Chains A and B, each alone.
Chain A
Amino acid sequence: MTALLEMKQVTKEYRGVPAITDVDFRLEKGEIHALLGENGAGKSTLTKMMCGVTQMTRGEILLDGKPVNFLTPAEALDHGVAMVFQETSLVPSMTVAQNLYLGDEKLFNRIRRLNIAAQTFLQSMNFNVNPTATVASLGAAHKQMVEIARAVRKNVRVIIFDEPTAALTPEEKHHFFSLVERLKQRGVSIIFISHALEEALQIGDNITVLRDGALIETAPAKSFDRKRIIKAMVGRSIENSTHGVKRKFSRQGQDRVLSVQNVSMGTIVKNTSFSVYSGQVTGMFGLIGSGRTEVAKIIAGVAKRNFLNGGEIILEDRSVRYRVPRKAMQDGIVYVTEDRKAEGFFETMSISENISLGFQAAGLNKNAVVTRSEMKALAAEWTRSLNIKAIDSDASVIELSGGNQQKVVIAKSLVQKPRIVIFDEPTRGVDVGAIAEIHQLINTLADEGLAVVVISSYLPEIMSISDRILVCRAGRVVEEFDPLEADENQIMFAAVH
């Protein structure tokens, strides 16, 4: 039987360097196919070739047994192949309904009819989104729902999700998976890229593992377990993984370096108070929208000050309120963003330029003049210690895989020699091996006496690396847990109720 979509001996080269080499791939009708691999393994590249975002260098793609080579995403969409990106391609200033029907407008549109049609359609999929809301006002999960709805409305046969769950709360994930199931029942085939292996095991029918651009294996999900996937992904078993490991000790904090007292901002942060100690990892758990990111941004001067209404932030023994991140950085506070594309890196610049800009901004270089060799040396040091992989050292950051971009963002902040580091979702989009490396790094920082804050909505991550756990809900820190005593259910309960 011919597969719905088939790739034969496909190769993709970027500037002569292969990102995908001779990969065979089959997608059957109505299956959920999980695509796994380390950062830079070529998952995104492989799927981008299926949906016309980029073209293969060699090989063959067959849709219904007929060779195709889509030159644009629009062409792929016409053939029923759609891709849902992690960062959405919706028009932010338009409403949900307008976005849904974008490109299909009649000469005259009755807004009301549009809204009603959108409403019925969204309801038919059980999506709880207001069709008259502008997309800009929606959270990540809702944006993604709109994006999915748009693809479904176009009657697609293949939907590719590139790391769809990274920005979702547990509940939203649950919704997402049941949606995927429903799509499957309608006969839609789904390709699903994720770094959360449990998800792949849970919802995938088949799993394909890539490593360094090559196909390692394709097999039914049932035949896999976590260990075997990891082995296929990295080529060996990982020993130092902190995943799901119950901590046996926790660090005692040294000095109270930062204390947040009754800080409020708009309706997002409501009168929150907590402290951070040096030599310790403070984990901040909370669902998306619980105001964690916003508090961090207030502390680090990223949020514009005029939105603040009340409260005090005390650094060591003086009250501070930063106007710009630069001032916070000069006092040793850095914030590593969760949204790397919007505010994490300089996309046209190379790894070394990115890192050295962080270095210069901190005033750490001795000379006013910056030489290329200095930049290179600095970058070499950090690419080694964070194990950043790029096809060549002058590659611009936009050409790196998602996980490696994240490492560049981290390096750019750590090079500033901070005393207090706030990591916001530091391992989003990062593979298992790299997660272990980043966790290792965070532990080292705390051992060196830094005050480290890790914000995460992934509970196993919080459990395995925090020395104390703060739980946020509805704009404030509501409870503190000791990771040695608390269990996951208690923490989740505190975050939700």
Chain B
Amino acid sequence: MLKMLNQERIVGAIAVVLFIGFSIGLSGFLSGSNILSLIQNVSILGILGIGMAIGIIGRGIDLSMVSTMVISVAWMLVMVNSGVNLWLALGLAVGFAVVVGIVNGLLIAYVEVPAIFATLAMGIVVYGFGKSFLIGQDVVYLPRDESWFYHIGSGQIAGVPNPVVVFALVALVAALFLKFTKFGRYNYAVGDNVATARITGIPVRPVIVAQYVLIAVIAVVAGVVVATAVTSMNTRLALSTQVYDVILVVVLGGIGLSGGKGGVRNVIVGTLLIGILLNGMTIMNLGYTTQNIFKSVILLAAILIDTMLNPRDEQTAQHGDI
């Protein structure tokens, strides 16, 4: 019975408990406008989390994700505001992200720079490049336009807020992709053991490049939701610690940093917990630092309970013949 509990379920349960607790204890938590903003934030975190999960499953990580999201979408808005056709601008923004992804992938797969350093540097480069050459102001606003595109972040379909719809779509596509396509299976294989993947004849390097391209494209999707939800894109977001929240979501959901494990479901539970927590703490008016303490305590608790209930397989923990 206790064995039925794994990190995914524990985290899911904590999320439910928190939600109920906040609903009872925090006035304003259940109000319509708060729930809406909660949903928006959760969805954005979730979309980014799915991108990050693809990387982490393949034993990579992308610290440049938030910069890519911010700069590509802000650039798109700058272009639209100066009269460029929306679709052309969107195409260019996606193109920009793809280039970032390819460069990340090439650095990591071919030059063999550790992912954490390559993408850390890339994040800084993307932000610096964007701010110096593409985007003049700190905050870029949406144009006044009635195209449906600008309601992606704010409207709803059949009573379901659009960000949730986008999150659900991204999650669904990613889940099918990871489970059933060749790339998906290869990604797990590379995360499990690169040497074995290589010797088996899996195109390891192309798979790694594809990983970072996918992450970058998903970042653009998240960016579109962000910008259309709050009618602007604040480039300072790239300097925030949001990327760590994203990693937290992924790890908390139970996707091990050692790669090869987990899936979209883990991201969803992680997102719910962190989203609810962040929202509740903001309503309680907790300071930024205090919030971080809570986040890390929760992460540690989840990992602790998981290792206690599901001790790491004795075999894998040990060196030696099985």
Contacts and interface: CB of A to CB of B under 8 A. Distances in A.
Interface of A: 44, 48, 53-54, 73, 83, 85-89, 162-163, 302, 324-326, 328-330, 334-335, 337, 342-349, 353, 356-358, 360-362, 368-371, 398-402, 405, 412, 416, 429
Given A325-B200, A368-B181, A398-B315, A348 B322 contact: no
B161 to A, nearest CB: 31
Interface in B273-322: 313-316, 318-322
B202 A398 contact: no
B201 interface: yes
A330 B199 contact: no
A326 B322 contact: no
Interface string B186-197: 101100110111
B320 A398 contact: no
**Which 6 A-B residue pairs are closest in the complex by CB-CB distance?**
A85-B320, A329-B201, A343-B195, A361-B201, A86-B321, A89-B319
A328 B313 CA distance: 35
B133 interface: no
A398 B185 contact: no
Nearest to B318: A53
B12 interface: no
Contacts of B193: 343, 345-347
A346 B193 CA distance: 6
B148 interface: no
B198 interface: yes
Nearest to B3: A15
Given A89-B319, A368-B182, A398-B322, A346 B189 contact: yes
Given A85-B320, A302-B199, A399-B322, A346 B185 contact: no
B199 A369 contact: no
B180 A324 contact: no
B60 interface: no
Contacts of A89: 318-320
A320 B188 CA distance: 30
A86 B320 CA distance: 5
Given A87-B321, A360-B182, A370-B185, A346 B201 contact: no
A326 B181 contact: no
Most buried by B among A346, A360, A368, A402: A346
Interface in B171-226: 180-182, 185-186, 188-189, 192-193, 195-205
A405 B319 contact: no
B263 interface: no
Nearest to B316: A398
B199 A335 contact: yes
Nearest to A413: B200
B8 to A, nearest CB: 16
29 contacts: A44-B321, A44-B322, A53-B314, A53-B318, A54-B315, A85-B319, A85-B321, A86-B320, A88-B319, A302-B199, A324-B203, A326-B198, A326-B202, A326-B203, A330-B201, A337-B199, A346-B196, A347-B193, A347-B316, A349-B260, A360-B182, A361-B186, A361-B202, A370-B182, A398-B315, A399-B313, A400-B322, A405-B322, A416-B201
Contacts of A349: 188-189, 192, 260
Contacts, number: 116
B192 to A, nearest CB: 4
Given A326-B203, A346-B192, A83 B182 contact: no
Contacts of A347: 192-193, 316
A343 B196 contact: yes
A224 B182 CA distance: 52
Most buried by A among B180, B261, B318, B322: B322
Nearest to B193: A346
B201 A362 contact: yes
Contacts of A162: 320-321
B202 A370 contact: no
A325 B202 CA distance: 8
Interface string B119-157: 000000000000000000000000000000000000000
Contacts of B192: 346-349
Interface centre among A328, A369, A401 (most CB of B within 10 A): A369
Contact of A360 (B185, B199, B318, B322): B185
Given A48-B314, A345-B196, 4 more contacts: A53-B320, A345-B193, A347-B316, A357-B185
A328 B198 CA distance: 11
A87 B313 contact: no
A330 B202 CA distance: 11
A412 B318 contact: no
Contacts of A370: 180-182, 185
A369 B314 contact: no
A357 B202 contact: yes
A327 to B, nearest CB: 9
Most chain B CB neighbours (cut-off 10 Å) among A87, A337, A343, A398:
A343
B201 A401 contact: no
A87 B195 CA distance: 17
Contact of A348 (B182, B201, B260, B321): B260
Contacts of B320: 53, 83, 85-87, 89, 162
A361 B206 CA distance: 13
A329 B205 CA distance: 16
Contacts of B204: 324
B201 A54 contact: no
B201 A325 contact: yes
A402 B319 CA distance: 13
Contacts of A429: 321
B261 to A, nearest CB: 6
A346 B260 contact: yes
